[in-house]
Amino acid sequence: MKSDDQKIDEVSLMFEAARSFIGGAKIIIDGDGIEENGVKKHPTLPVIVCSVIAVEIALKALLRLNGLPRPTGDGHDLKQLFEALPTPLQIELLEFQVAYTDFPASLARQMLYEQKDVFKTWRYAYEKSSLATAPAFLFGLALALSEYIKSTAPIERSENGWLFPQENG
């Protein structure tokens, strides 16, 4: 662990940020929801936005880990970010994610491409007349990418409490 006065590398910070968003989505998924007129409602919007931004950050971290620049243009386009990765890594990630989403690799690629603009559309969902997405796939993909990075890269964990509360005392 790094102390507050030591710098932690950018990829590790990106990993921590993605994990934080995944953690936020999981808290909501596992939460009791909010009772409204006798019905328990669960806020899907933050699960979607947290999951998709975690996917975006993880893809950008993978680009950084591979010494590749971010694609020019729209920084939120998941398809563009994914396709900027080397083809062998794309294949490896698609195979890795199966355990987290239950989607075969070819279908996962299709789903990722269909979900490429979710962050741009769902962060201002109230501006749209209709929306559709796949929250479970996005959450599973976010978790898969995070676990892939954790298992393959030298990640430094910070003591900033993004994922775990600070110890008292």
Number of Cβ atoms within 10 Å of the Cβ of 39: 8
Q: What is the mean pLDDT of residues 162-166?
A: 50
User: b/e for 42-62, b at 16 or more Cβ within 10 A?
Assistant: eeeeebbbbbbbbbbbbbbbb
Out of 23-27, 57-61, 107-111, least confident range: 23-27
Count the Cβ atoms, other than its own, within 10 Å of residue 124. 9
CATH class as words, domain 10-152? mainly alpha
Q: Where are the beta strands (DSSP E) in the chain?
A: 34-36, 39-41
**Predicted pLDDT of residue 156:** 79
Amino acid at 40: K
Mean pLDDT over each residue of the chain, to the nearest integer = 86
Has residue 141 got a pLDDT over 50? Answer: yes
**pLDDT, tens digit (0-9, with 9 covering 90-100), for 60-110:** 999 999 999 999 887 899 999 999 999 999 999 999 999 999 999 999 999
Residue 74: its pLDDT value, please?
Answer: 77
Cα 53 off chain centre by? 5
Give one word for 37, left, alpha or beta, with left for phi > 0 and alpha for psi -120 to 50: left
**CA gap 105, 96 in Å, rounded:** 9
Domain residue ranges in the chain: 10-152
- Give me the count of residues in the chain: 169
The pTM (predicted TM-score) of the whole model is 0.85
Phi and psi (nearest 5°) for 36? -140, 115
Q: Which of 160, 159, 107 is nearest to 134 (CA)?
A: 107
Flag whether pLDDT at 169 surpasses 80: no
**Model pLDDT for residues 109-122, shown as the tens digit of each residue:** 999 999 999 888 88
